[in-house]
Structure 1
């Protein structure tokens, strides 16, 4: 299955794989089963923080996923319509990766209940034998979670796979009868999720149902929204969409989450159409999306629907199928910037929408978000729609689970996402391989990797596009320059133990943004000015840690910076380990200093910054400000007006 952030020519690093003439074309890379890759170091701690935070406790008190709800709830978000499926899909990998017995028990109970209540037609429970309309989409995240349990615990394959095949047979007949699609709803836009489940069955457990699986994939494609047209330059929106007429009369395709889902559609259909045009179009669509709606934090803007480039407004599967390193680079930026920025450091509260320039997190007046509520910036339990409350825990587990891949022939291992990991797997010819990666990355430039293998093989490690003058030293030898091909550097591993050290430095870079402003980057991290703040509790619940919090600035934020003055500062922790949690004010060891001055910079209403002023004049003395990794900031300026302070 494809996991969150998952982003095909069939040309491997050093190999060419033949495209099959029928059935499913192979992916360029295959992910490892859940549990084969484990987090280490600060990344393991990040999952522990999540486990101890809101995500790990929702089952205890949050009505939409508490047991009483999925046994008999009837809200739009309950059961397998959305909330239960989302929660299950995120918490299965969380529980496995930190081996948490409570979460594993909760997700197992959820799985068992649903499978035990599958009715004779194949429909997944709990809401069976009711008059409730049957819509397919809500079951897709549940199936993703069930697949992950089957991968991490093969003993459960015998009950999970037959249940999936039974549901597929029912869905096939429903699609032929025009049922289950809920016109104007998620099923028609998110059909690719079901296709990916069908492909997992086809690749791993077809059980003689290959023709039915392929037919169902095609039915989903041709009854779903046309992503090949949505992602064409002719129709793609180049700015905010709230005042635009959708050319397909399908407004949900411009919905932010649906757009992310749609990026998986064409790589998925390529596997059964074998059309290079599918891959070309999704690559074009990816570039259009980030050209017109991208943010320096890695993500793209959508306050429910695509929102353009303005700073005041709020995958791995693609790489596995296509192999273009631009997808992996973007996923890493999102994970290490946008994801932690939308959560409090202890992960007990989250936002629905985040802003590049965010001078307050409160009930906003006037509301700058045309399609979402004024409460969307608040850090809390459910600051807008509840979908993100139950779905946000997918991010950290899925970056871990997708960080190592194999080539289709299982001869080689690929380290895709950089960070502290360990993995234990068996490659082709019974080659037993373990890998341990010791690093503070992205809060350090050095990765020390130890590999043990029973046989020789080629190991690949991704070298991000932002690396300058990277080096590798193998088994204590002299450092040599890295030489990546299509983003991957090859290391020839001998049987026994191989050790190598990667040094992956990066330069400070600036990115042009609207109104003559700039964003600042170094490596995968985006840097922002962390605005001093106070916190006010807006809502206090019976679960005392699940508060709604308003943040207000307590210091000036109206700074312009001189780009020529940017200086990188590395303050490695004396203990060798990072603080916990790492993504909070003043904690990361990397900063960038900048010469700055205060400028006239207005607000819109009293809660959010106006667009950065162009060509501003200083109204205060020259000073030095510190920029911190974006993910550690909760109020921030991430896009700065520019001044020349060289003569001051």
Structure 2
């Protein structure tokens, strides 16, 4: 076993030659509130606000304890629960202009800052004998930064408190204090907070901020080693020995957060090796553990490629946030493409349509959601895929609400000089911001994407500037058409995926068409997954639902057991020439569909999305591996019934599903080419 101190010394040697200032990110974020969701995306965030996310402060014990001033119901713990809740609900409340949530997040901020002790410490350990551990404060810091962005009048109060805490944290790190197993893996979050202070409010403390960043890296998991070819696990890890003596370095959520460690490190080392390692980290993770849903498998620890293994909800939202940060620093298209896949597939698939219940773990092939026997998840409990208030562990209840808000707030960026504006994620948005030279810009993007292929964009600018739009890697034969009728093919930059559009002062409008082909992704055991554009398509298994638990204080908060009520044992023909894409909504390229077609809400529910793919299939024998979870997809299955056509729908709208299918096609021999996870052929 490799001792962690070996890597600490290596890190120290590397960082000792680091530059004395931060390298800039390639792209910058906009302040919270400049980007607003519209259309179906606004509806989705409204569903979240009406669900458990917007109400847990009223009844959920982890964030509603009444042990502080005024009899208010509040967050006694500035640790995991309260900190997660604050980080998620600050953008949620502001994006939805929800007065109640905004008042509660403001009260939370006030309470925490008002109770900072004389040493600078923030948190429940003040006045107690409990050890001081750093990590639980980091999500709170993210939330506080967002509040400063939206309400600049809070700047002095928040920044003063953060600088006071940093001085204390620096002393603690020099004394090897404040670091336990979670802080040792999540140090990168604090580094990003310190970099925000350095970039925007250094107050002459640049040297201290840089020193704290370096010591955080020294104190923690050496992610460049964990994610290296030499040490990275290429399959499930439950029967492996961790070479670092740090089991939590293979923990799925820690790794999701750790994906942004190396680009964060690059900013103070200026070492190209950190960028190279960050790129390799991403590729290794999704090569050996990736899902067609866009996420990767880790039912607590890394779990390989089997379709029945689990993916934690916290992992999904943290990987989305890390992917956004990776793009901001490095600018590689693969990060944005993957985040968009996760947002439109993995995130909604693991939450009930009304967003009152969520799973701890989702599966690619999931034919039931119940207390399973025997347990298919080696590191988690058999209750993990039940939809409810807190199946297995409660962390995802308070953490998942950051997913949609932070996807929205990272959807637009500016160039480093703030002269140009970039739409990174495709969807319906409105933006109102000020670029450099006091250039006031308004943007409206009207689209059904990902349930449609066309984006209608209107820009009103005080001065000319360059507007860029990401063109996803799956787009084929796309074009852009301007209001005067001029049309050109999409020709994005090969690395960043950005298509530049020169915008003049005044009003500019254009239509961007981003069609995609049906594609097949090779999976284990000769199985395949079906995609079109950002969406993974799955068989939506008919289901029964039974309430098996209910919170005594909130009738909406129930645990749901789901079981199949229809057939799911199918193999499909993998020849894409036999597959047909259907869209009931997008019919006319000339006018916005919202004028004539409105997507139902909640959109991620059975039968709601207007898009589907029909495929040829036949019934096969597909045995169970236990009480309502299945074996791996059978290889070379024999049809036991006549060929028929079945409908596949977006993965995110399913709760029970098959999304990795056995293949009976005569074209099966084509699937032997390429690695698992690659697109093998397209129509």
- Whether TM-score is above 0.5 comes out as yes
Structure 1 residues 452-510: Cα deviation after superposition (integer angstroms, max 9, x where no partner): 11111111000000000000012232321011013000100000010010000000000
Q: Kindly tell me: are residues 69 and 227 of structure 1, through their superposed partners in 2, closer, same or farther at Cα, counting changes over 3 Å?
A: farther
Q: Which residue of 1 aligns with 2:229?
A: 233
Q: Which residue of 1 aligns with 2:674?
A: none
Task: Measure the CA separation in 1 of the matches of 2:265 and 2:251.
Answer: 21
Q: Which residue of 2 aligns with 1:603?
A: 624
Structure 1 residues 232-266: Cα deviation after superposition (integer angstroms, max 9, x where no partner): 00000000000011111111010000001111111
Deviation at 1:605, TM superposition (A): 1.0
Q: Which residue of 2 aligns with 1:567?
A: 580
Deviation at 1:644, TM superposition (A): 2.5
Alignment of 1:591-630 (within 5 A): 591-630=612-651
Give yes or no for contact 1:421–1:436 (8 Å, CA) kept in 2: yes
Give yes or no for contact 2:490–2:499 (8 Å, CA) kept in 1: yes
Give yes or no for contact 1:65–1:83 (8 Å, CA) kept in 2: yes
Give yes or no for contact 2:635–2:662 (8 Å, CA) kept in 1: yes
Task: Measure the CA separation in 2 of the matches of 1:540 and 1:136.
Answer: 35
Structure 1 residues 112-132: Cα deviation after superposition (integer angstroms, max 9, x where no partner): 110011000000134411111
Alignment of 1:315-334 (within 5 A): 315-334=323-342
Give yes or no for contact 1:239–1:306 (8 Å, CA) kept in 2: yes
- 1:406 aligned counterpart, secondary structure: strand
Task: Measure the CA separation in 2 of the matches of 1:70 and 1:54.
Answer: 23
Q: Which residue of 2 aligns with 1:581?
A: 602
Q: Which residue of 1 aligns with 2:539?
A: 529
Structure 1 residues 44-96: Cα deviation after superposition (integer angstroms, max 9, x where no partner): 01000000001000000000001426879xxxx96012000000000000001
Structure 1 residues 163-212: Cα deviation after superposition (integer angstroms, max 9, x where no partner): 00000000000111111002xx1101000000000000000001111111
Instruction: Determine if the alignment matches structure 1 residue 273 to structure 2 residue 269.
Output: yes
Task: Measure the CA separation in 2 of the matches of 1:181 and 1:220.
Answer: 9
Q: Which residue of 1 aligns with 2:681?
A: none
Task: Measure the CA separation in 2 of the matches of 1:478 and 1:600.
Answer: 55
- Which residue of the other structure, out of 39, 42, 46, is the alignment partner of 2:40? 42
Q: Which residue of 1 aligns with 2:411?
A: 403
Task: Measure the CA separation in 2 of the matches of 1:22 and 1:505.
Answer: 46
Instruction: Determine if the alignment matches structure 1 residue 264 to structure 2 residue 264.
Output: no
Give yes or no for contact 1:71–1:79 (8 Å, CA) kept in 2: no
Give yes or no for contact 2:125–2:132 (8 Å, CA) kept in 1: no
Give yes or no for contact 2:19–2:269 (8 Å, CA) kept in 1: no
Give yes or no for contact 1:253–1:259 (8 Å, CA) kept in 2: yes
Deviation at 1:285, TM superposition (A): 1.1
Structure 1 residues 261-307: Cα deviation after superposition (integer angstroms, max 9, x where no partner): 11111100100000000000110111000000000000000000000
Give yes or no for contact 1:339–1:631 (8 Å, CA) kept in 2: yes
- Which residue of the other structure, out of 187, 207, 212, is the alignment partner of 1:211? 207
Give yes or no for contact 2:123–2:137 (8 Å, CA) kept in 1: no
Deviation at 1:23, TM superposition (A): 0.4
Q: Kindly tell me: are residues 476 and 577 of structure 1, through their superposed partners in 2, closer, same or farther at Cα, counting changes over 3 Å?
A: farther
Task: Measure the CA separation in 2 of the matches of 1:266 and 1:417.
Answer: 23
Task: Measure the CA separation in 2 of the matches of 1:70 and 1:40.
Answer: 38
Instruction: Determine if the alignment matches structure 1 residue 505 to structure 2 residue 503.
Output: no
Give yes or no for contact 1:559–1:598 (8 Å, CA) kept in 2: yes
- Which residue of the other structure, out of 495, 499, 506, is the alignment partner of 2:505? 495
Q: Which residue of 2 aligns with 1:242?
A: 238
Q: Which residue of 2 aligns with 1:442?
A: 450
Give yes or no for contact 1:598–1:619 (8 Å, CA) kept in 2: yes
Q: Which residue of 1 aligns with 2:78?
A: 80
- 1:232 aligned counterpart, secondary structure: coil
Task: Measure the CA separation in 2 of the matches of 1:127 and 1:201.
Answer: 24
Task: Measure the CA separation in 2 of the matches of 1:92 and 1:428.
Answer: 27
- Which residue of the other structure, out of 377, 380, 392, is the alignment partner of 2:385? 377
Task: Measure the CA separation in 1 of the matches of 2:67 and 2:396.
Answer: 18
Task: Measure the CA separation in 2 of the matches of 1:576 and 1:22.
Answer: 55
Q: Which residue of 1 aligns with 2:355?
A: 347
Give yes or no for contact 1:41–1:420 (8 Å, CA) kept in 2: yes
Q: Which residue of 2 aligns with 1:305?
A: 301
Task: Measure the CA separation in 2 of the matches of 1:507 and 1:610.
Answer: 30
Farther-moved stretch of structure 1 (20-29 vs 101-110): 20-29
- Which residue of the other structure, out of 459, 463, 478, is the alignment partner of 1:455? 463
Farther-moved stretch of structure 1 (359-368 vs 575-584): 575-584
Q: TM-score, normalised by structure 2?
A: 0.90
Structure 1 residues 404-432: Cα deviation after superposition (integer angstroms, max 9, x where no partner): 00011111001000000011111111111
Give yes or no for contact 1:562–1:643 (8 Å, CA) kept in 2: yes
- 1:587 aligned counterpart, secondary structure: coil
Task: Measure the CA separation in 2 of the matches of 1:151 and 1:599.
Answer: 56
Instruction: Determine if the alignment matches structure 1 residue 149 to structure 2 residue 131.
Output: no
Instruction: Determine if the alignment matches structure 1 residue 429 to structure 2 residue 437.
Output: yes
Task: Measure the CA separation in 2 of the matches of 1:56 and 1:100.
Answer: 9
Give yes or no for contact 1:69–1:79 (8 Å, CA) kept in 2: no
Task: Measure the CA separation in 2 of the matches of 1:238 and 1:476.
Answer: 53
Task: Measure the CA separation in 1 of the matches of 2:207 and 2:137.
Answer: 22
Q: Which residue of 2 aligns with 1:17?
A: none
Moved over 2 A (4+): 69-72
Give yes or no for contact 1:64–1:70 (8 Å, CA) kept in 2: no
Task: Measure the CA separation in 1 of the matches of 2:68 and 2:472.
Answer: 43
Q: Kindly tell me: are residues 69 and 361 of structure 1, through their superposed partners in 2, closer, same or farther at Cα, counting changes over 3 Å?
A: farther
Q: Which residue of 1 aligns with 2:172?
A: 174
Task: Measure the CA separation in 1 of the matches of 2:19 and 2:569.
Answer: 60
Farther-moved stretch of structure 1 (491-500 vs 561-570): 561-570
Task: Measure the CA separation in 1 of the matches of 2:49 and 2:666.
Answer: 46
- 2:476 aligned counterpart, secondary structure: coil
Q: TM-score, normalised by structure 1?
A: 0.94
Task: Measure the CA separation in 1 of the matches of 2:111 and 2:511.
Answer: 48
Deviation at 1:643, TM superposition (A): 1.1
Q: Which residue of 1 aligns with 2:216?
A: 220
Q: Which residue of 1 aligns with 2:135?
A: 137
Task: Measure the CA separation in 1 of the matches of 2:657 and 2:481.
Answer: 39
- Which residue of the other structure, out of 397, 400, 409, is the alignment partner of 1:392? 400
Structure 1 residues 122-157: Cα deviation after superposition (integer angstroms, max 9, x where no partner): 001344111111000000001110110011110111
Cα RMSD of the aligned pairs, angstroms, is 1.5
Task: Measure the CA separation in 1 of the matches of 2:68 and 2:628.
Answer: 38
Task: Measure the CA separation in 2 of the matches of 1:126 and 1:112.
Answer: 15
- 2:210 aligned counterpart, secondary structure: helix
Structure 2 residue runs without a partner (length 5+): 1-17, 311-322, 587-592, 668-683
The total of aligned residue pairs comes to 622
Q: Which residue of 1 aligns with 2:611?
A: 590
